[in-house]
């Protein structure tokens, strides 16, 4: 997460001010995620070794972590229409 000051949002509704920005790395969807979002899923670092490589390894080693989660490591916990207001 990083602080940033500027105009953000759609052109019709720009919000000027201070914002907190974040990003995440995606990869191809695995079999669990594909029925919901076929294009991509977040990269998941499941093991301590993966997290350590991500934080301290070389760029080439970190790139090797950009892969779909292993089958059955994720599960769907909700389905249906989003109902927030």
Structure tokens at 11: 């052109």
Cα dihedral value 42, 77, 35, 65, nearest 10: 20
In angstroms, rounded to a whole number, what is the distance separating the alpha carbons of residues 16 and 4? Answer: 10
Q: What are the sequence ranges of the domains in the chain?
A: 24-72
**Which H/E stretch holds residue 49?**
helix 48-56
| Statement: residue 84 has pLDDT above 80 | no
Note the pLDDT tens digit of each residue in 11-60.
Answer: 999 999 999 998 888 999 999 999 989 999 999 998 999 999 999 999 99
Structural contact between residues 30 and 71, judged by C-beta atoms closer than 8 angstroms: yes
Residue appearing with tokens 């294009």: 39
pLDDT of residue 85: 57
pLDDT of residue 1: 82
Mean pLDDT over residues 81-85, rounded?
72
> What's this model's pTM, rounded to 2 decimal places?
0.64
In angstroms, rounded to a whole number, what is the distance separating the alpha carbons of residues 27 and 37? Answer: 11
pLDDT of residue 3: 93
């Amino acid at each position: 997460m990083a602080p940033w000051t500027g105009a953000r949002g759609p052109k019709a509704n720009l919000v000027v001010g201070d914002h907190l920005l974040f990003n995440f790395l995606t990869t191809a969807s695995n079999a669990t995620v594909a029925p919901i979002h076929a294009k991509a899923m977040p990269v998941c670092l499941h093991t301590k070794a993966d997290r350590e490589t991500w934080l301290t390894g070389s760029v080439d080693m970190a790139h090797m972590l950009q892969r779909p989660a292993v089958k059955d490591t994720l599960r769907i916990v909700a389905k249906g229409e989003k109902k927030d207001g």
